[in-house]
Amino acid sequence: MPPGRRGRTGGNAGSLPSGNTAESSRAPTEGITCPGFARLASVIVVDASVLIAYLDSDDDNHEAAETLLAVAIDDDFGVNPLTLAEVLVVPARDGRLQLVQLALRDLDVRELPFPRDTAVRLAQLRSSTGLKMPDCWVLLAAEDARATLASFDDRLAQAAEDRNVPILRR
């Protein structure tokens, strides 16, 4: 769990919906790359791959997600509404929606609005990058917020780098 991050409810952000907590034995920055880290934006747009891994202690990327979020502990985390819905689908189906919402609130993940010209910009991103639409949602949110993007998806990370969006990844 990101050390020292406490949410509005006062609980540890690493308290996962299953009630388990996972501590990483790795140094906070080990394995995390972000060229120009000192110049990061104050907002980090988080991809579903990172949030899902963080919330699921059995996920192969869970430890990497905890480490990545720990590196960004002093920044604000943001997510676009469609990515947030993507993260919430399985918990909603499994009756864990409220628990996951509390975990995201404890992590201080904030829902970011889409810009007014969302449809046009998404179409342009999709056609110019070849990314799938869910990845375009994330990239648009990062560009619109002038934010760093946190993702474990290599294609999304490369597209972001090609568009001069700072990347935080394992």
Helix (H) or strand (E) holding 87, with range, is: helix 81-93
SS3 at position 62? helix
Q: Is the pLDDT of residue 91 over 50?
A: yes
pLDDT in tens, 56-78: 999 999 999 999 998 887 889 99
| 139 touches 149 (CB < 8 A) | yes
pLDDT at 71: 86
| Per-residue pLDDT, 42 | 83
What pLDDT sits at residue 122? Answer: 97
pLDDT (0 to 100) of residue 11: 35
The fraction of the chain above a pLDDT of 70, given in percent, is 76
Instruction: Report CA 42 to chain centroid distance, whole Å.
Output: 14
What pLDDT is attached to residue 41?
Answer: 41
Taking the CB of residue 115, how many other CB atoms lie within 10 A of it? 14
- Report if pTM > 0.75: yes
How confident is the model at residue 36, as a pLDDT?
Answer: 42
Each residue's pLDDT tens digit, 111-131: 999 999 999 999 999 999 999
Q: State residue 74's pLDDT score.
A: 83
Cα–Cα distance between 155 and 97 in angstroms, integer?
29
Query: Tell me, what's the pLDDT at 26?
Result: 30
Other Cβ atoms less than 10 A from the Cβ of 103: the count is: 24
Q: What is the pLDDT of residue 83?
A: 96
Between the alpha carbon of residue 99 and those of residues 16, 18, 37, 102, the distances in Å are: 8, 8, 32, 5
Residue 87 near residue 121 (C-beta atoms within 8 A): no
How much is the pLDDT for 40? 38
Mean pLDDT, rounded, for 149-165:
96
| pLDDT band at 137; cut points 50, 70, 90 | very high
To which CATH superfamily is domain 43-168 assigned? 5'-nuclease (3.40.50.1010)
pLDDT at 72: 86
